[in-house]
Amino acid sequence: MKIIIGSDHAGFKLKEDIKSYLKGHDIEDLGTFSEESVDYPSIGKKVAEKVVKTNSTGILICGSGIGMCMVANKIKGIRAALCYDEYTTKVAREHNNANILCLGSRTKSAKDYKKIIKTFLTTDFSKEERHKRRVKEMDEL
């Protein structure tokens, strides 16, 4: 599975932990590459555009996850979800076909996020017509 990942300075350490956890996957890290302060919008945009272009899965991390989620969702074809437990992660994938998982490095531990990431990567989009219809409507906005 191809995973495009990115973070700002606040999410850098968590991003590095996640990359270690995801060994065996094809991971492309689009930055940042240190804890030096950066503005998250440029990284969020790069990741989101690459996810659309390559039809991949993405993970974005900032302090709260909110900023990255807002940026990513401005890119046509992105359905980014800020998930905070396994249930919200499961429905983001099953009901909304989320293609980017957004995480807040200051809200949970890496251990907690590993469960969320596993759920995100192993949950398929529902085959139910109502979910397909709703995602199509979102994509047409």
Q: What CATH number is attached to the domain comprising 82?
A: 3.40.1400.10
83 is catalytic: no
Tokens of 137: 């409507």
Query: Does 122 sit behind a cis peptide bond, omega within 30 degrees of 0 on the bond before it?
Result: no
Q: Is 62 a catalytic residue?
A: yes
In the predicted model, is pLDDT for residue 1 greater than 90?
no
What pLDDT digit, counting tens, does each position of 16-27 carry?
999 999 999 999
CA separation for the pair 10, 90 (Å, rounded): 25
Asked if pLDDT for residue 141 goes beyond 90, the answer is no
How many whole angstroms separate alpha carbon 61 and alpha carbon 72? 11
**Looking at the 3D structure of the chain, how many domains does it have?**
1
Catalytic residue selected from 9, 25, 62, 83: 62
Q: How many CA atoms lie within 13 A of 67 on its CB side?
A: 20
* Residue numbers of the domain that contains 124: 2-139
Model pTM? 0.96
Provide mean pLDDT across the span 78-82: 98
Marked catalytic residue, from 69, 83, 95, 102: 95
Please compute the mean of the pLDDT values over residues 20-46 and round it to a whole number.
97
Residues 108-129: tens digit of each pLDDT: 999 999 999 999 999 999 999 9
